[in-house]
Amino acid sequence: MNSDSSVKKNRLLKSFGFALTGIKEAVMCERNLRIHLFFSVIVICMGIWLSISVSEWLIIVLAIGGMLSLEILNSAIERVVDLVTTDFHPLAKTAKDMAAGAVLIFAIMSVIIGLIIFLPKIIDLFH
């Protein structure tokens, strides 16, 4: 292995380390992310319990991954805005509100996905 590929491999490993540090920081500091994680565990348990199909799992995994990623991105945007200005600024508020709005849209979509996948199976349990 030449030194150039070793350097690239080392950079790649470091970038994974930075990403994992960011995820850990978000989990430790962001209440909303912990709420999303809690509901993700419930959804995964329901998926196992109700034996959802592979295609349903793919959709659930995308919804969970998208939700968690978007929540972390929202937190990052909030921190960058806070870093730039501690004073109230209409553009800072707009940036934070738009990021929060994106999270809300995806959360609503995720709930709809969950209802489409799980509700018929739950109804079948009671018939």
Backbone angles phi, psi at 86, to 5 degrees: -100, -15
- The torsion defined by the Cα of 88, 84, 105 and 110, in degrees rounded to 10, comes to -130
Of 40, 71, 117, 118, which is the active-site residue?
71
Q: How far apart are CA 60 and CA 47, in angstroms?
A: 9
Supply 112's token pair: 């709809």
Q: Is 11 known to sit in a ligand binding site?
A: yes
Q: Is 97 known to sit in a ligand binding site?
A: yes
71 as an active site residue: the answer is yes
Q: Is 78 known to sit in a ligand binding site?
A: yes
Q: Is 71 known to sit in a ligand binding site?
A: yes
Enumerate residues 6+ apart whose C-beta is below 8 A from 110. 63, 64, 66, 67
Q: How far apart are CA 96 and CA 80, in angstroms?
A: 10
Binding residues for a divalent metal cation: 30, 78
Binding residues for ATP: 11, 30, 78, 96-97
Binding residues for substrate: 11, 71
Q: Which residues are catalytic?
A: 71
